[in-house]
Structure 1
């Protein structure tokens, strides 16, 4: 059990209710936690205006915000909050940017309960807080070290294909039943994974390597 002198307030920011419930269940054994949850970045930022939070478990893809940018915004306004990214994004470049934007750690959503608790503890102490899989990803060579092409999630491949076919973010959102902001977040993540500055370069590389 984690030992702290006061009740810790942990916020979960994720747009999937089943993920929120799963994280709450993982943390249920820790009686020293008060847990609050939010499905959008806006809800969480409004909460912070009047309430104290010590740790936030932050998803990267949210319906109203890019978690990478939200992390930077949180640390700028509330530097004492410990931010742990918790995501399905298993790309080294995404993990790196999240850490550069102020996150204390990064966990994949398949992390075990003891990993989650250890990362919270380490993050609160200012120590590196990476889950086992995240550590393994960070230990691999960077893409520019081996000229590799990044792996994309099924949704990212779908969105990239539609972009290459000329569909706008609005069209893609309607077609895939997503919010336009979610599509834009995926677009930014795809560009980040390819380590380029624009979608044109991404499409060019994707075509050259027969990804689309």
Structure 2
């Protein structure tokens, strides 16, 4: 048998077929899934193999596909979804199926979410303002084991490397909330109860706040919170 793409005889050349990238689309809005699917399915190098309405649905479908050795190459998913959110689903997917790549397509561009997604193994991060061509490019890059970032996200990441955030800007939204609670004199346990997290997690957040602000005590943290207007001065 002649190898694909080589001459099979005088004047005859066999057709070379490129393997299409298999994609699983995950979003809790059906209209979004349909729109993405409609675009990807007209591309010669893309194949939408399934859709899922939330993170748990995606994990269930991947388990079934794995049993039949039909895993997708790339999972395109949103972050904010019911049952299992996109960040948790990304971590589970990349850990359980190391050959499957994840590209995040979301409305949220906060750097805390970007860092979390990339830390959980995402190969791409796009905002839903991206054009169809960018979505396709991100999927293709992920399939090649490359990373594709939304231009706005990439600029912010670059800015972070050039000028690392300092002061309150170095804190995540949750850490700012913890700082405000520290300033009101709440203990780690009280902070945990207020934010509905474990006391251990609260303690970790407090430690991170002190480290990022280069402080050595909760009293210093309270003074910073008052100075920056997070809480009113104690009378």
TM-score, length basis structure 2: 0.61
| Secondary structure of the corresponding residue to residue 116 of structure 1 | helix
Counterpart for residue 15 of structure 1: 28
Structure 1: stretches of 5+ with no match in the other structure: 165-183
TM-score, length basis structure 1: 0.67
Measure how far apart 1:209 and its partner are.
Answer: 5.3
**Does structure 2 retain, via aligned residues, the 8 Å contact 1:40–1:65?**
yes
Question: Does 2:54 match 1:40?
Answer: yes
Greater RCO between the two (CA within 8 Å, min separation 6)? 1
Report how many aligned residue pairs link the two structures.
Answer: 179
Distance 2:227 2:34 in 1: 42
Distance 1:47 1:139, change over 3 A: same
Aligned residue runs from structure 1 range 165-184, under 5 A: none
Distance 2:75 2:40 in 1: 13
Aligned residue runs from structure 1 range 153-168, under 5 A: none
Measure how far apart 1:206 and its partner are.
Answer: 8.6
Distance 1:7 1:121, change over 3 A: closer
Larger Rg: 2
Counterpart for residue 49 of structure 1: 63
**Does structure 2 retain, via aligned residues, the 8 Å contact 1:71–1:101?**
yes
Distance 1:126 1:85 in 2: 15
Distance 1:91 1:128 in 2: 18
Matching residue within 107, 128, 152 for 2:147: 128
RMSD: 3.9
Distance 1:27 1:210, change over 3 A: farther
Matching residue within 47, 66, 86 for 2:85: 66
Structure 2: stretches of 5+ with no match in the other structure: 1-15, 66-70, 182-195, 210-221
Measure how far apart 1:147 and its partner are.
Answer: 2.8
**Does structure 2 retain, via aligned residues, the 8 Å contact 1:116–1:131?**
no
